[in-house]
Amino acid sequence: MNEIQFVDSVAELQDLCQKMQQEPWLAIDTEFLREKTYYPKFCLLQVATLEWVACVDPIALEGELEELFAIINDPAIIKVLHSCRQDVEIFYQLSGKLPAPVYDTQLVAPLLGFQENTGYAMLVSGFLNINLSKIHTRTDWSQRPLSPEQLKYAADDVIYLAKIYQMMQEKLQALGREDWLKEDFEQLMNEDLYDIPPENAWLKIRGKNKLTGKQLAIVQVLAEWREQLAKKDNRPKNWVLRDELILDMAKLQPLNLKALSDIRGMNDGFVRRYGKQVCELIDNARGLPGLKLKNKANNKKKPGQEAVLDILTGVVRLRADENSLNPVILATRKDLEKLLLDEQQSSLLHGWRFSMVGQELQQLLQGALSVSVDKKNLRVQ
């Protein structure tokens, strides 16, 4: 591996882009900050192949990244990332496009014996027997200049990623699993994952499942207002208004500044600045139809369904053993409950899990298949 190239001029970026354009795949990572902003602040791009590695300074090159994003969004080049959602969000935010096709090593890991949601450090240790340093985990990547140690720390994320990608591909091909994740990777290119409409922001608030339909309508209105304000001011939404206060406001429904101020934890500055507007929003929301949460009334198992789950679990174990996988990677008990109670929410009806066992389980539940047992085997007929 050559030395790390630090790119902070237009001429250097043009040279790098020419080199990137020739590659069939690129290992990519980003460093960003979002503690004080709604949108992530793009601070560093790391890119590597097996032959070279570079770190691009998007702060120094602000307004000059169009050619770089054209390559990142090039459908002829595979972008290899680990746990790619936040990186893709940055690319989508800045370029307006999704960088298809992507290859997410975190999704691949379970097919090769790792646990679900395996961290990058665990992959590096498992594949390369290298323990990554954590010394710069809390680095402020917006500060300049970056030290040689910081650049090495950042570059390691793609240097090892490139090597792991090659090893993963070889193992998947040996197992005949190289196409199993095609649908999973394609699902990562769904714009809805990265551009949630403000009117749907309430769905991400935890604790709402204990509220009534009328209270949920208030949560929806307040969460939408908060999302729009946070975007406009580029502030973290919890800096505008915390989730727990939205839930308390939905329960207590204050209609004047005094009642709003009396809510525990309510900031006086927030009341002065937004209190009147928020009370009007709550008052208007009180007249809206109540909302319903998906599955709220359909999340209790009926007598006998535990036995059905046991049978489904047996089929999962059978297929996992046939494919040398941990059954928990293929489907947990909770995954099977979702399939039983509400198919639309089940991950077993998508991607490689559907091919391996999901379709079969679905047909069992529909009565199109049956299970027979003898002293040695479980059979699906």
pLDDT tens, position by position, for the chain (381 residues)? 569 999 999 999 999 999 999 999 999 999 999 999 999 999 999 999 999 999 999 999 999 999 999 999 999 999 999 999 999 999 999 999 999 999 999 999 999 989 889 999 999 999 999 999 888 888 999 999 999 999 999 999 999 999 999 999 999 999 989 899 999 999 999 999 998 899 999 999 999 999 999 999 999 999 999 999 999 999 999 999 999 999 999 999 999 999 999 999 999 999 999 999 999 999 999 999 999 987 554 556 777 889 999 999 999 999 999 888 889 889 999 999 989 988 777 889 888 899 899 999 999 999 999 888 887 788 898
Per-residue pLDDT, 297: 44
Cis status of the peptide bond prior to 303, with omega within 30 of 0? no
Per-residue pLDDT, 299: 57
The full set of domains in the chain, from first to last, is 5-193 (3.30.420.10), 198-285 (1.10.150.80), 305-380 (1.10.150)
How far is residue 185 from each of residues 29, 51, 79, 101, 332, measured CA to CA in Å?
A: 17, 26, 11, 8, 21
Per-residue pLDDT, 293: 87
d(CA 135, CA 143): 16
Q: Which of 322, 327, 315 is nearest to 369 (CA)?
A: 315
Torsion of CA 308, 309, 310, 313, to 10 degrees: 130
